Amino acid sequence: MINPDDDLGIPKFSLAERERRWARVRRLMERDDVDAIFVPPHTGLFDTQQANTRYLTGLGGNHWTLATIFPVEGDVTVFTSADVHPSVCMQRQDWVHDVRVMTGAWGFTRSVIQRLKELRGLRRLGVFGLAGNTRFPEGTTSHGTVQLLREELPDVELLNATPLMAEARFIKSPEEIAFLRKGTEILEQAIDIAVQEARPGVPENIVYAHMVASLVQAGGELPAFILWSAGSPQPLSNAYMPSRRPLRAGDVIMTELQGRYAGCDAAGAQALFLGRAPDEYHEMFERQQEAVRICHAMLRPGQSVGTIAENLNDMTDERFDVRVLMHGRGMGDDSPLAVFGVRDAAMANWTVEENSAFVVKPIVSTKDRSKWIYWGDTVICTPWGAERLGKRAPAIIEIL
């Protein structure tokens, strides 16, 4: 929601949503006998590693470096970097009132330890990012942070809070679904901009710049990824940024992008062609859409991610490779993840639940993988299968 009395016009989740999230996390903490959770600062992978602080406090975006202490009872504390005054934190959210500036030369851990020493009876501290992150299974929390915690809190047992937070965030509330729907609307507008701007002779980066601008103009946040590839013959994969090469007739354009609204990350993928798409791509797209339909039908409570992945990958035949490409959507680095396959038993055995969110975008390629295509968007899981949040008709877009 947007508070009409707030001159900044910042979309915020309600206090009822705060109570829902905090109660859910604290139930899991009590189950696992965790006294407090520490979310270290980490702005990697398009800011997605800050997702748990955003989830617990409402603060984040634009690589804003923050840390959080979330006790099983009592005040939640957020630490902001020295260049952002606490008053800014208070303007942008109304969930957390204990806002502190980290002390020292950009070192958060000693400030966090000072707060942890204020907690009475702290025995077991859950630290996010020790291992098992969705895209970084080896973890993201630094050795120096862990070492300092052990030195300064020798009687406190450190536990890995990564699985707990992934479980807490998996099921989405009506407010979160509404914000994901808004993010989907924002990214679909950016695809419309690409269709308007992409013409022979226009440099790739100019089209890309218009797309980024449209995300912000529509109320979205940065950083938001726009993966991009363009060329003829088709590049072997998307890149993380465009070139300055002028587009040419016959180019294949593949883009995957994110619409981030109030921290909620919707994602989608679209194939575009400058001119008519060759027949082989239309054949691949028909197979891709068959995979999308199968995935949508299977995304219902009780189904495992591994079973879905196997069903899609088994569609591979003598002409085309079909590979699963789906993963959780929410506030960033969401579990579970199935990219071409599943990395381990934890991801394979992950069970779909009602109101969980995924981006579904299976990829189909020729056997030599020199030509490939995908399409997809964010969906919500229901007892009857996946419900799309997007309004785009599934299609190859041909810019004539």
CATH number of the domain where residue 386 is located: 3.90.230.10
Q: Verify that 356 and 389 share a domain, yes or no.
A: yes
**Cα of 200 vs its chain's centroid, Å:** 33
pLDDT value of position 87 = 87
Residue among 124, 111, 114, 113 at smallest CA distance from 155: 124
Residue among 190, 225, 231 at smallest CA distance from 207: 190
Whether 40 contacts 127, CB under 8 Å: yes
Question: How would you write the pLDDT of the chain (400 residues) with one tens digit per residue?
Answer: 545 445 678 899 999 999 999 999 999 999 999 999 999 998 888 888 899 999 999 999 888 899 999 999 999 999 998 888 888 888 888 899 999 988 765 788 999 999 999 999 999 999 999 998 889 989 999 999 999 999 999 999 999 999 999 999 999 999 999 999 999 999 999 999 999 999 999 999 999 999 999 999 999 999 999 999 999 999 999 998 999 999 999 999 999 999 999 999 999 999 999 999 999 999 999 999 999 999 999 999 999 999 999 999 999 999 999 999 999 999 999 999 999 999 999 999 999 999 999 999 999 999 999 999 999 999 999 999 999 999 999 999 999 9
Instruction: Write out the E strands in 83-210.
Output: 98-101, 124-127, 157-160
In a domain, 285, yes or no: yes
In a domain, 162, yes or no: yes
pLDDT value of position 226 = 95
Q: Verify that 225 and 310 share a domain, yes or no.
A: yes
Q: Verify that 243 and 162 share a domain, yes or no.
A: no
Based on its alpha-carbon atoms, the radius of gyration of the chain, rounded to whole angstroms, reads 22
In a domain, 7, yes or no: no
Out of 169, 188, 214, pick the residue that ends a domain.
169
Q: Verify that 385 and 294 share a domain, yes or no.
A: yes
In a domain, 3, yes or no: no
Which residue range forms the structural domain that includes residue 60? 15-169
Q: Verify that 66 and 95 share a domain, yes or no.
A: yes
Indicate yes or no: pTM above 0.75: yes
Q: Verify that 160 and 107 share a domain, yes or no.
A: yes
In a domain, 2, yes or no: no
Residue among 44, 333, 55, 49 at smallest CA distance from 172: 55
Domain count, the chain: 2
In the sheet with 226-231, reading across from the earlier edge strand, the strands are: 226-231, 252-261, 264-274, 397-399
Whether 374 contacts 254, CB under 8 Å: yes
Out of 169, 192, 212, pick the residue that ends a domain.
169
Burial class (CB in 10 A: 0-12, 13-18, 19+), 187: buried
Whether 264 contacts 176, CB under 8 Å: yes
pLDDT value of position 39 = 96
CATH number of the domain where residue 141 is located: 3.40.350.10
Q: Tell me the three state secondary structure of residue 53.
A: helix
Q: Verify that 151 and 235 share a domain, yes or no.
A: no
pLDDT value of position 1 = 54
Give me the phi and psi of 376, to 5 degrees please. 170, 175
Q: Verify that 326 and 294 share a domain, yes or no.
A: yes
In a domain, 4, yes or no: no
Q: Verify that 255 and 293 share a domain, yes or no.
A: yes
Q: Verify that 31 and 158 share a domain, yes or no.
A: yes
In a domain, 248, yes or no: yes
Burial class (CB in 10 A: 0-12, 13-18, 19+), 19: exposed
Q: Tell me the three state secondary structure of residue 246.
A: strand
Whether 190 contacts 213, CB under 8 Å: no
Residue 341, sorted as left (phi over 0), alpha (psi -120 to 50) or beta, turns out to be: beta
pLDDT value of position 44 = 85
- Take residue 285 and report the two structure tokens written for it: 């797209």
Q: Verify that 158 and 245 share a domain, yes or no.
A: no
In a domain, 186, yes or no: yes
Q: Verify that 190 and 123 share a domain, yes or no.
A: no
Out of 116, 143, 169, pick the residue that ends a domain.
169
